[in-house]
């Protein structure tokens, strides 16, 4: 089993819709979780950390399910500018990046 | 605002050449990382450093070496470039620790082509 797995997509979603994707991790000792965003031909940038209690930042909600060992990212009222690749990150002493999920928001 | 800079955005080299990629960060971060990113393979860690003159192999260190003589600067060296090292190279930095270590700041990347 891969350490961090994501559906590569692409997810093609109409503007204004809600979209969610998950990321599973294999290391039950993972302590820290994050979502990064990477635009085409740009570097990854931190989108948000994922806390045990879940957290929300505007239209974005991140959640952690330790029992099933996955994290999720929900985007509400999607915008064209949300089109990007979303990378999940899990780790303890070693930080592991997932390969990313591509999201296309359609006008 | 954190800034991580890389010496070149685009680089073209010939097989067998020695290649230096430089990365500088201005946030006094202890940790620095070198990744390569290829389509379908995601980010793969080449080397990282958690202190000056310290280095640790990542997942794919073969064909690469690194140097960290100053805290703010982390260099990636391709001793003898090969065509399979054509890739996007990304440098990142962070503070230490499981939480801070996951908050990495990336440079803009160097797209290296080896002919």
Report the percent of chain A where pLDDT is more than 90.
84
Residues 41-60 of B with CB under 8 A from A: 41-43
CB contact under 8 A, B99 and A32: yes
Query: Higher confidence at residue A82 or residue A30?
Result: A82
| Shortest Cα distance, chain A CAs vs residue B79, angstroms | 25
Which residues of chain B lie closer than 8 angstroms to A93, CB-CB? 98, 101
Q: What is the 3-state secondary structure (H, E, C) of chain B?
A: CCCEEECCCEEEECCCCCEEEEEEECCCCCEEEEEEEECCCEEEEEEEECCCCCCEECCCCCCEEEEEEECCEEEEEECCCCHHHCEEEEEEEECCCCCHHHCCEECCCEEEEEC
Residue A97's pLDDT band (boundaries 50, 70, 90)?
very high
Residues of chain B with pLDDT under 50: none
Which residues of chain A lie closer than 8 angstroms to B98, CB-CB? 31-32, 91-93, 95
Which residues of chain A lie closer than 8 angstroms to B103, CB-CB? 34, 46, 49
Query: Higher confidence at residue A1 or residue B92?
Result: B92
| A62 CB neighbour count, 10 Å cutoff | 21
Res A94: pLDDT: 82
- Over the stretch B14-29, which tens digit does the pLDDT of each residue have? 999 999 999 999 999 9
Least CB–CB distance from B43: residue in A32, A93, A97: A97
Res B97: pLDDT: 77
Report the percent of chain B where pLDDT is more than 90.
89
Res B52: pLDDT: 93
Q: Which burial class, exposed, middle or buried, applies to A35 when counting CB atoms under 10 A from its CB (0-12, 13-18, 19+)?
A: buried
Q: How far apart are CA A93 and CA B5, in angstroms?
A: 25
Q: In terms of Cα–Cα distance, which of B99, B112, B106, B100 is closest to B21?
A: B112
A-B CB pairs within 8 A amount to 49
Q: Which residue of A has its CA nearest to B109?
A: A43
Vertex A42 angle, CA B77 and B63, to 5°: 20
Using the predicted structure, report yes or no on whether residue A1 has a pLDDT greater than 70.
no
Using the predicted structure, report yes or no on whether residue A93 has a pLDDT greater than 80.
no
Which residues of chain A lie closer than 8 angstroms to B43, CB-CB? 44, 87, 97, 99
* Range of weakest confidence among A41-50, A61-70, A85-94: A85-94
């Amino acid at each position: 089993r891969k350490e961090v797995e994501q559906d590569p997509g692409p997810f093609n979603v109409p503007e204004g819709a809600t979209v969610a994707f998950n990321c599973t991790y294999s290391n039950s000792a993972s302590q820290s979780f994050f979502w990064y965003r990477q635009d085409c031909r740009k570097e990854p940038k931190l989108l948000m950390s994922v806390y045990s209690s879940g957290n929300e930042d505007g239209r974005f909600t991140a959640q952690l399910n330790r029992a099933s060992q996955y994290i999720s990212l929900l985007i509400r009222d999607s915008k064209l500018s949300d089109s990007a690749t979303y990378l999940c990150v899990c780790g303890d002493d070693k930080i592991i990046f997932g390969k990313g999920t591509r999201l296309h928001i359609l006008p | 605002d954190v800034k991580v800079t890389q010496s070149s955005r685009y680089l073209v080299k010939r097989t067998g050449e020695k290649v230096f990629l430089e990365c500088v960060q201005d946030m006094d971060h202890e940790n620095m990382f070198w990744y390569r990113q290829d389509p379908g393979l995601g980010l793969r860690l080449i080397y990282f450093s958690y202190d000056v003159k310290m280095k640790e192999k990542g997942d794919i260190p073969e064909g690469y070496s690194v140097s960290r003589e100053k805290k703010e600067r982390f260099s990636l060296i391709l001793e003898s470039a090969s065509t399979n090292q054509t890739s996007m190279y990304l440098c990142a930095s962070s503070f230490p620790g499981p939480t801070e270590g996951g908050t990495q700041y990336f440079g803009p990347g160097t797209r290296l082509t080896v002919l």
